[in-house]
Every structure is written in structure tokens, then in C-alpha cells.
Amino acid sequence: MTARPRGAKPLDQLMRGVIGPALAARGLGEASLIAHWPAIVGETIAAYARPLQVSWPPRPEKRDPEAPVAPATLVLRVDGAFALEAQHNSALIVSRVNAHLGWRCIEKVAFRQGPLPPLKAKRGPAPAPSEAAEAEAQRAAAAIVDDGLREALTRFGARAIDRSAQRIAAATDPGA
């Protein structure tokens, strides 16, 4: 009997078994197409068009191994008001997706109109910690010899101290 490794596992290791089959069922063998969609096609296009599936043409029963693979169709969910705009941008979408994937696997785009959830807003920089939290974190990290490590732990500690103080305040506030 082998011992299981202890400690935390990266989230991607845990989710591969769930996400991989779900994406494969839709012809999306590359999860990065979904995960990095705004970076691939740009924020403007990503706001009104999202990938649903990649539709591959049927394979002949006796396929020549030397024959090139027939390109697929990328099916996008498009907000109805932007359907015409998406159609005008289809060549750009195809070229950007193919560049991301590293080969010419998409030949055309098909559209399915429907509502889209809003894209998640990018998180801005964390607010600066309070002076009291900064001072407390500096005292706690003072014994660390390495300057870079001490500064990093001080920044991290100050934010953690502030966050903890905010949670305690919220829990004890009767008006919350």
C-alpha cells in the first residue's frame, strides 16, 4: 500500500477531472480558450461573444494519415444586439484563436444568439494598509535577516492584520 502525499494540491490538479471532460464534450480540448478568452480576442469582442463549442467535421472511416485535418467551426454565444458586429469580426476572431492555439484549426465561426453574463471585473490593486497595521507587521518581521523576505512579509502581514481587523469589526457591529 502506497502512502498518499500530504499537503495541499494545486487547484488545477483537482479540477482537471471535472473540467476536462466537460470541455471535451463540446470539442474544446484546450481549456485556455475559455480561461483566457478576453486576452485572446480582446476585451471589446469578449464583452459580446463567448465560445460555446468547437464543432469538428465528421471523420471519414478510412482516413489517410497523411491527409491534413479538416478545420473546425468555432461556435460562439453572441449577445443579440451585437450579432452583426460579431459577424464583421469573424475573420479577426478566427485569426486570433488560431494564433493562440498555434495551428490553423478553426476555419469559420458560427453564432448562437442569446444573453451573456457580464465579464468579471478585473480586480484593482489592494488598498494600502493602515499605519498601525504596517507598524505591527514591521515589529513581527523585525527578526528576519533577509531584506527582501522581511519587506514582503511585512506587506503581506500588514494587509492580513487590516483584513482581520475589518472582519472583527463587521462581526461585532450590531448594525450590519
Q: Are 166 and 173 in contact (CB under 8 A)?
A: no
- Distance CA(12)–CA(17), nearest Å, equals 9
Q: C-alpha cell of 131?
A: 499605519
* CATH code, 18-58+68-113: 3.30.300
Q: Report domain extents, the chain.
A: 18-58+68-113, 131-172
Per-residue model confidence (pLDDT) at position 115: 87
pLDDT of residue 30: 62
DSSP, collapsed to helix, strand or coil, labels residue 83 as: helix
Strand partners, 73: 55, 108
- Please give the Cα distance from 27 to 52 (Å, whole number): 9
* pLDDT at res. 78: 93
pLDDT at 57: 82
pLDDT of residue 118: 74
Q: Which stretches of the chain drop beneath a pLDDT of 70?
A: 1-7, 10-31, 63, 119-122, 174-176
Q: Is pTM, for the whole model, over 0.75?
A: no
pLDDT at 117: 78
Cα of 67 vs its chain's centroid, Å: 35
The distance of Cα 124 from the centroid of its chain, to the nearest Å, equals 16
